[in-house]
Amino acid sequence: RNSTRQLTSQLVGSKNKDDAPHELESQFVLRLPTEYASTVRCIAQSSSMNLKDRLTIELHADGRHGIVRVDRVPLACKLVDLPCILESLKTVDKKTFYKTADVCQMLVCTLDGDLYPPLEEPTGTVDPKKKKDKDKDKKFVWNHGITCPLKNTRKRRFRKTAKKKYIESPDVEKEVKRLLSTDAEAVSVRWEVIAEDETKEADNHGSLANLDSSPGTSGHKMGHGSSAQRDELREIFNDISSSSDDEEDEGDLRHEDEDLNIMDMEEDLVRQLQDKLNESSDVMEYQMQIDGVKAKLKETRARKKQQEDLIMKVENQALKNRFQALLNEIIHQEEREMEQVTLSEEDWKGYFKTASVYDLLFGYEL
């Protein structure tokens, strides 16, 4: 069983006012085997003048190992770190206590230890400073308290702290500057920005694809409607021609010229109708072109908004200038597409103005 003994090194001050002020006490816990602990306790209580001859402490160069001699008997010792700081108190009348120091280390002495442990040299590519710190954390940390109930207290009561991985910011800034300088010197630069709105952009592309496919389907339906109306008009004209033939059979010479004029007008109307039906395909092409330009304009505006949001998030001035140049190109592209949409709509309106006369005659909607 080990016993605990606290040794205090004090400086006895002089009563003269001119002397230097008293220094704070430096204390540590000395743990000895039972037989040597009783001897040291008797030496301390006797206040003998030969204390230095009977008890000596010698530390090695590493500051962690040493030799403690009690009545010239050498004991191997090791300086360890306690789990927490202990407050040392002192009293004279056993009623009033004064705090004298904070104790955080303990010198543990053993009989079977090595008096001169071999020095460990760093091997391989390991940094000596890092290896020294690692050994300090593992070998010289005491897991127990100074009393029996606090055995293994470091593992039972202390929460494990998460290790933080620190990144040196100067190295990061240096790497960023190097990348920007290489981009500035390069002939062409290709980069890709990965944003959080990729899913939304994919949805937008899907909707644009649906818009592109919609004109073809509508044109197919209109084609069926136009063919049905074409057959109806042909039947009407056939009825008109048959009625005109019946009138010719009557042999009315007075209306012969009028019948000829009517037949000429019918032939002209049939030709005009055929031209209109041929022009319906042109109408569908116009509609598809306008829809395609509008879809491109919508996509350009979505890219413009995404680029503006990206510029608001970026703090680097060089990167922000590059993104601003790309935004200007997108704005110019948007203006060109708006002009193209305007011209297409004007052509569309002009086409319907020329076709309005035919619509008034037959009430036929293309």
Q: Per-domain residue ranges for the chain?
A: 3-11+22-157, 198-362
Q: Is the pLDDT of residue 182 over 50?
A: yes
Write out pLDDT tens, residues 41-90: 988 888 777 888 889 999 988 888 899 999 889 999 999 999 989 999 99
d(CA 6, CA 103): 10
Q: Is the pLDDT of residue 253 over 60?
A: no
Section 354-358 average pLDDT: 49
- Which residue did the predictor score with more confidence, 9 or 68? 68
Q: Is the pLDDT of residue 208 over 50?
A: no
d(CA 204, CA 200): 6
- Which residue did the predictor score with more confidence, 246 or 178? 178
Worst-scoring range by mean pLDDT, 11-15, 107-111, 163-167, 330-334? 11-15
Q: What is the pLDDT of residue 30?
A: 92
Write out pLDDT tens, residues 20-49: 555 667 899 999 998 999 999 988 888 777
Phi then psi dihedrals of residue 163, to 5 deg: -85, 130
Contact present, 36 and 69 (Cβ < 8 Å)? no
Q: Is the whole-model pTM more than 0.75?
A: no
Average pLDDT, the chain: 72
Q: Which of 281, 290, 163 is nearest to 230 (CA)?
A: 281
Q: Is the pLDDT of residue 99 over 70?
A: yes
